[in-house]
Amino acid sequence: MTRSLPVAVCQCGPIRRDETRAEVVARLVAMLERAAAGGARLALFPEMALTTFFPRWDLEDDAEIAGYYETEMPSAETRPLFDAARRLKIGFALGYCEAVIEEGRARRFNSMVLVGDDGAVIGLYRKMHVPGSETPEPGVTVHLERKYFEPGNLGFPVFEFQGVRIGMLICNDRRWPEAYRMLRLAGAEMVLIGYNTPLLLTETPRLAHLRMFHNHLPMQAGAYQNTMWVAAAAKAGLEEGQALIGGSCIIAPSGEIVAQVASLEDEVIVHHADLDMNAECARAGFDLARYRRPSEYALIAAEPAAAGRE
């Protein structure tokens, strides 16, 4: 019998700075309902799906900054999404800003939680590759994730969802081949990716026409080279004056995009992911156990000083 997982990608249109959690959560619940009606058993929302992408601003108001983070998951405000999951019998993955007290201090992570169709948390991922800077830099698009988040400290975990091994990545992570390989080596069969990507970067005008290509290229390569399914959900459209790339999609282990959105708004796409394809594609040259040469890859895991030529 074929193993499959019907998965939904729920792209979010712009989220306003003054949009309340209740308003955003209502939008997410509406998409979850569409995903379930389309037969999906798992739905994916973008990175930072509960708020506007505030790292585009150098904010000074501590109260405003704190307001973008969740101190518990679920909270009273996000619980309707968890209740909807239980009611609709569908799991979901949600990107959000996490504030925790850990190791005796306040810490902030760019996180994604995986939730089962019973509304219970299955697992958590914290973004590893935190891009941008701590303060604005001249000539560079303001992207201050490094002011607002520290790098993830949970590794690249893989979780079991209804018998399927699921990994998660967040935005810039999707551009790093090591991230996919780590998940594949941990047994992932499907990777869920949420992202917020500016359509234009001031610093690279010559590459402007390649933004969507550079969005899909690493995800298709990640899927193909690791023979895994990749589902990717964007925040899209003109958000607080900044155009965010869309292009949310579902990619087969062959590297092919098998479903893609057609808008920059809230939109749901569903695809029945055939999990037998993973092994079939692996037979075309990606038998990792047989052909990989880990003893020759030491530089990949070396710190920059040892690697020498970064």
Given the rule CB under 6 A, which residues bind ligand CDV?
Answer: 47, 131-132, 143, 171-172, 175, 195-197
- Say if residues 48 and 95 touch (Cβ distance below 8 Å): yes
| CA-based nearest residue to 41, from 79, 77, 83, 93 | 93
The identity of residue 290, as a single letter, is R
Report in angstroms how near the CB of residue 197 gets to ligand CDV at its nearest: 3
Q: In whole angstroms, how far apart are CA 33 and each of 73, 85, 88, 91, 153?
A: 20, 9, 7, 11, 33
In the complex, what is the shortest distance from the CB of residue 246 to ligand CDV, in angstroms, rounded to a whole number? 12
Looking at the Cβ atoms of 98 and 189, the one nearer to ligand CDV is 98
Q: What whole-number distance in Å separates Cα of residue 157 and Cα of residue 121?
A: 14
Q: Which of 97, 171, 249, 281 is catalytic?
A: 171
Residue 253 makes CB contacts below 8 A (sequence gap 6+) with 223, 224, 226, 227, 228, 229, 277, 278, 280, 281, 282
Q: Which is nearer to ligand CDV, 27 or 211 (CB)?
A: 211
Instruction: Confirm whether 249 is a catalytic residue.
Output: no
Tell me the closest approach of the beta carbon of residue 198 to ligand CDV, in angstroms: 6
The phi, psi pair for 232, rounded to 5°, reads -135, 125
Check if 171 is active-site: yes
Given 10, 12, 47, 235, which residue is catalytic?
47
CA distance 58 to 121: 32
Task: Give, for 26, the enclosing helix (H) or strand (E).
Answer: helix 21-37
* Tokens 């969740």, residue located: 70
Q: Which of residues 197 and 242 has its CB atom nearest to ligand CDV in the complex?
A: 197
Please, which residue, 171 or 252, has the CB nearer to ligand CDV?
A: 171
Among 10, 12, 70, 127, the one annotated catalytic: 127
**Which of 85, 170 has the CB closer to ligand CDV?**
170
Q: What CA–CA distance (Å, rounded) separates 39 from 174?
A: 27
Active-site positions read: 47, 127, 171
